[in-house]
Amino acid sequence: MARLIALIIMLIPGAFAALGIKLMRDMLFGILQPPIPFLWVQFIIGLLFFICGLGFIAGFVLHRDRKRNKVQSRFNNKKG
């Protein structure tokens, strides 16, 4: 059950990152999506979706690897 929850947690930000890539690609080809008024706004929204999705996935993987002591010493928490 825990693995299924972890998979769902990883799929949602992955979908946001994919949507961000799609919005940025559509802006480059001049395709404006209906609720967005300008192409440059579409690119900024796509960039934010991509960065947030990728950042969440990277943070999730880093947190998991820190718990299992599989990171280099420079990525460990410095407490104290």
Query: Which pLDDT score is estimated for 80?
Result: 46
DSSP string, the chain: -HHHHHHHHHHHHHHHHHHHHHHHHHHHTT---TT-S-HHHHHHHHHHHHHHHHHHHHHHHHHHHHHTT-S-GGGS----
Query: Which pLDDT score is estimated for 30?
Result: 94
The verdict on residue 80 lying in a domain is: no
The verdict on residue 46 lying in a domain is: yes
Domain count, the chain: 1
Query: Which pLDDT score is estimated for 45?
Result: 97
- Average pLDDT on 6-13 reads 90
Q: What is the pLDDT of residues 17-63, one digit of tens each?
A: 999 999 999 999 999 999 999 999 999 999 999 999 999 999 999 98
Domain that holds residue 56: 2-75
pTM of the model: 0.84
The verdict on residue 43 lying in a domain is: yes
